[in-house]
Amino acid sequence: MTTQQSTSNELKNCIDACLHCYQVCTQMFMGHCLESGGRHVEPEHARLMTTCAEICRTAAHAMLSQATVHTAICGACAQVCEQCAASCQAIGDMDECVRACRTCAESCRTMASGGGQQQSTRTTGSGARASH
């Protein structure tokens, strides 16, 4: 497997992790949290869950769009996911969301540090030589 292929796989994995986290956060807040009430609908937790869903969706969009600026957005996404995971763990009974947020945070951190940078070379034609 070439460097470019592994980069492409990392990009695909990160898109999947972001879209999965988006879905889990949205479904759990709109279902489990709203129906449970109490701490599950505390303002800070509710805002984190919905904002996490939103930035995950936006990070996936930037990567699907093959925008080189996806790195900045993935960096922000990693931070929001970490805080959302911590909030979910503190409240309890939200293990699926904790896992989805942590997996997404880790994948986004890799992207933010340049893990997906060869992605943009596909359109310049220099991609093949960019990996050694």
Identity (one letter) of the amino acid at 67?
Answer: A
Structure tokens at 95: 């293990």
According to the binding rule CB under 8 A, does residue 31 interact with a second copy? yes
According to the binding rule CB under 8 A, does residue 27 interact with a second copy? yes
Rounded Cα gap, residues 12 and 41, in angstroms: 33
Binding-residue total with a second copy (CB under 8 A): 42
Q: For the beta carbon of residue 65, count every other beta carbon within 10 angstroms.
A: 9
According to the binding rule CB under 8 A, does residue 94 interact with a second copy? no
Closest-CA residue to 72 (of 114, 120, 101, 9): 114
Residues in contact with a second copy by CB under 8 A are 15, 19, 23, 26-27, 30-31, 34-35, 37, 41-44, 46-48, 50-52, 54-55, 57-58, 61-62, 64-70, 72-73, 75-76, 79-80, 83, 120, 123
